Amino acid sequence: MSSRESADYYWKPRFKTISPGAMSSVYYRHESLFVYGLFWPGHFSHFLYDGMLPLYSTMRRFNGTASSWLLRQAEYVGENRRDQAVWEMEAILPHGRELVLSDFEVASKFQVLPPKRAPICFDRAVVGLGSQCGLNYCAKNTPTEIYQAYSDQIQGHYWPTPETWESHLRSRAESEKERTHHASENPATSAAPNILPSPTNCLQSARYYGFNHKNSGLDSISHDEPLARHGIADPDNTTDREEDSYRPVVAIIERRGTRSVLNPNTVISAIVQSRNFRLKVLSYDHGCGIPETAYLMRDVHILISPHGNALGGSLWMPSLPRHPFPVIISIDSTKYYESWFQWTTTAMGQRFLLHQCGPATSYHPAPQEINPKVCPLYRDLDLARTSLAKVGLVLNKTTETEDLQMLTDAEYPLELLERYHDETSRVNQFLSEYWKNLSRYADPARLLMLLEQIRAENKQERDRRRVTTTQTTYLQICSESRCCGPQCEGIMSRNVVGELRAYDQKLESEEWGQYYRNEEQEAFGRSGEVLHSWTA
């Protein structure tokens, strides 16, 4: 599987002699079998970037077909549930199936258990994924072209025409109706009907601002996608053009519970009132599937979300040659941010930026432009107690209230570490867990300034493309410190210009993993320049 070494799974086939009399009961499939493992399959982004994309890349390399079969031999974290939405794989294997070895892994009609009394024979088997992904824990990189090819295949399967998309929506609604009925009839073995994942509700919960007219404001909110865009793959270049203005589509992902943005309405108001953007407000809490996530992202130029699963949907954002480089903005605090999606976005040629909104500390002062009134310290003692239990840190009963305040303060708890000197590791684990999941503020004014800067850059690039055939390359914007967030030099050195880069890879089977010569990349290497991080 494509995963960290601690999750690696080693497997080899066992040989078994079958008596001639038993051969009549053997099932024959004259197709290829791809044997692989999944790292954290219940997590959308891990399933996608550590599983689905490396698998798709392996199938492309070894000439898999629409009728190939899969054998999921191993899982690192088994948290599948029946009918979970992320298992749609019919777009790449409409005539194939996936063999799984446990009942709980049968999450959709695509997964089947092997027959108990007879083997299945295939023409050949391809074992493993080659430890390839955009993350640094993989030995090799998935080629950039694979991301686009998979994205195109999903879009080509679900909405080549508006009629096809409508057919998918009807099928989805019928399926959800059946699942709800089954859950109500079998309460002992099913989730409650009101908490079943509902991709239909995921689409219906979206809110649209400013799509109908450039002068529309907050009162123009709609819960329905504009008719001119419905089921259209690239509406900005076909059915819903804006010739005289450039108003990028911005999407904000609203999270409930942990990592939520505390002032979402002020952020929404600032963007809408500027009248320079069209805005989608989305929620994935209902359980979006792959087709619904891809559909919602297909026309989004700028994606804004707290760090988390939702950022993985950037795979389907429109890109070159008809659109500027996609921009992903992760809303984080100065106390915690992660680089996970910096790895995936740089492998795809996307820009990844951070928006941090306090708090300031003596050892990590916030940038001068951060307004402490807009970005105050926020505490969540219930979350703190949950985090304590998770990491196994037990506070002294006599000083528990004081200790909890110190742990959730902006300053690093040096005094507490002296008191709990034998628990230093657990204290640091708590700080990481707590600040990662704590809700956070966003600064509407500063975020809008960043959006206006991106809009100006994209408009300039769009206008330039209208008078010349040359395009700005991803390497160029990286060299201008515009493609990645802080501490990103190592990420770009691997994914953009290094020996393991995702770009310029040969896709022919016999030359897979070799690179085409790239004069721009070679010239950049000879210049001795360093790819620097983006800073606000």
- E-strand ranges in 100-142 read 111-112, 120-127
Shared domain check, 415 and 463: no
- pTM > 0.85: yes
Q: What angle do CA 285, 442, 367 make, to 5 degrees?
A: 140
Q: Which residue shows structure tokens 């209902």?
A: 286
pLDDT at 304: 98
**How many CB atoms sit inside 10 A of residue 396's CB?**
10
Q: Which domain holds residue 427?
A: 381-437
Nearest by Cα to 235 from 318, 168, 291, 157: 318
Shared domain check, 400 and 495: no
Q: In one letter, which amino acid is 71? A: L
Residue 178 domain flag:
no
pLDDT at 187: 64
Last residue of a domain, one of 115, 140, 165: 140
pLDDT digits (tens, 9 = 90+) for 90-119: 899 999 999 998 887 887 888 899 988 788
pLDDT at 450: 96
pLDDT at 191: 52
Shared domain check, 278 and 420: no
pLDDT at 135: 95
Dist. CA 311–CA 321, nearest whole Å: 22
pLDDT at 85: 43
**253, 283 contact by CB (below 8 A):** yes
- E-strand ranges in 203-248 read 207-209
Shared domain check, 215 and 93: no
Shared domain check, 88 and 10: yes
**480, 489 contact by CB (below 8 A):** no
**503, 351 contact by CB (below 8 A):** no
Last residue of a domain, one of 113, 140, 167: 140
Given a cut of 50, the residues of the chain with pLDDT beneath it are: 83, 85, 192-193, 534-536
Q: Which residue shows structure tokens 């994209």?
A: 458
Helix axes 381-391, 424-437, angle to 10 degrees: 140
pLDDT at 83: 47
Burial 46-70 (b: 16+ CB within 10 A, else e): bbbbbbbbbbbbbbbbeebeeebbb
Shared domain check, 232 and 103: no
**How many CB atoms sit inside 10 A of residue 152's CB?**
12
pLDDT at 147: 96
Last residue of a domain, one of 405, 420, 437: 437
Shared domain check, 93 and 49: yes
Q: Which residue shows structure tokens 């988390």?
A: 308
pLDDT digits (tens, 9 = 90+) for 251-303: 999 998 899 999 999 999 999 999 999 999 999 887 788 999 999 999 999 99
Nearest by Cα to 38 from 52, 55, 57, 51: 51
